[in-house]
Amino acid sequence: MNRICWKLVDIVSRALEPGERDIVRGDFAESQQTGPQALRDVLGLVARRQMAPWHNWRPWLILAGLVVPLGLLLSLLSNHVASMNSVYSWMYFNNWDWSLLQHRAFWIVLAQTIVLVFPDILALICLSWAIGFTLGDLSRRTIPVNGVLFCLVLLFGALVAAPQYMRLQVHFMTLGFHPRNTGPDPVSSLTLYRVLFPVLVQIILVLLPSLLGMYKGARSHRLSLPLRMILWVLALGSMAVLAAMQGIWWVALVTQSRPWFHPIWQKPPWLLAIAGPVMYWLATAARKRHSGAGNPACSRL
């Protein structure tokens, strides 16, 4: 028990600044505290350190203005991508037949499916990374709390908000354009594709890239401010376009404007979405190359 507690003390104290971590560990050694006492103490200190920035208005603004709306929008986008992909997954996995491989038509359809699906998947991964980077960069000191809250918003979005929103969309769409289209389709009637698949898609395409983005964003002080600002604008601009597209979709539905009522308005703005990560990748690659060449003038891009 004592050993486990000391191991936990080690892990938890990593949330402290390196200097303070050393001082606290020294205090524990000197006062010969037991593992549970040390764990309680370090948890208390970490909690106080994490709460301290929240006395300011900025973390609250980032929470209310970015973490919650962006988390919900990403959930919605992820749910949309999952519902598109669930049909293809069902088509391939639930109706698999090895003899299909011998048919040329199968390969043509597979290639078409990949072309259709891949940009959305790539855009969602890039967008999630860019949003995570922006959050990590803008809320460096509060990122552990904001990161946990972002994960909770994503979970809420995946399990409650996005399915409800999609249901609402389908309901109004049925009223507006397809009055005779009733009853669940064979794919979404399966619990695997209705519940588990969207959560899995969200974990793989949204949660993991955004956590990686947060990690990079929290350490982005090595990048120049203009570059970071371009990344913020691209990430937030993509989400603003996405939100506007949702608005257009609803207006088209309400006004029954068929030319505007198109699935493209539900898709991620993929050129904007991938621009951020590509820029980051190019900038860090160039920085590594310059620092490798030993040019101190280029150590900051």
Partner 1 sequence: MLGEFEYLLLTAAAQLGEDAYGAAIRQEIEDATRGRCSIGALYTTLDRLETKGLVRTWMGDPTPQRGGRPKRMVRVTAKGVRAARDFHAAVMRASRGVSWASNRVGTQP
Which residues in this chain contact partner 1 in the complex, by CB under 8 A? 19-20, 22-27, 29-31, 40-42, 44-49, 52
For partner 1, give the closer residue by CB, 43 or 155. 43
Helix (H, G, I), strand (E, B) or coil at 204: helix
Closer CB to partner 1, residue 37 or residue 169? Answer: 37
Closest distance of CB 149 from partner 1, Å: 22
Least distance CB 18 / partner 1 (angstroms): 11
For partner 1, the closer CB: 55 or 180: 55
Q: Per-residue b/e over 199-236, b at no fewer than 16 CB within 10 Å?
A: bebbeebbbebbbbbbebbbebeebeeebbebbbebbb
Q: CB of 261 within 8 A of CB of 250?
A: no
Q: Is 241 exposed, middle or buried (0-12, 13-18, 19+ CB in 10 A)?
A: middle
Q: How far is the CB of 22 from partner 1 (least distance, A)?
A: 5
Comparing CB distances to partner 1, the nearer of 27 and 185 is 27
For partner 1, which is the closer residue by CB, 16 or 199? Answer: 16
What's the closest the beta carbon of residue 143 comes to partner 1, in angstroms?
Answer: 20
Beta carbon of residue 25, minimum distance to partner 1 (angstroms, whole number): 6
Q: What is the DSSP letter of 16?
A: S
Close Cβ partners of 272 (under 8 Å, ≥ 6 residues apart): 234, 237, 238, 241
Does residue 205 contact residue 81 with C-beta atoms inside 8 Å?
yes
Contact between 154 and 205 under an 8 Å Cβ cutoff? The reply is: no
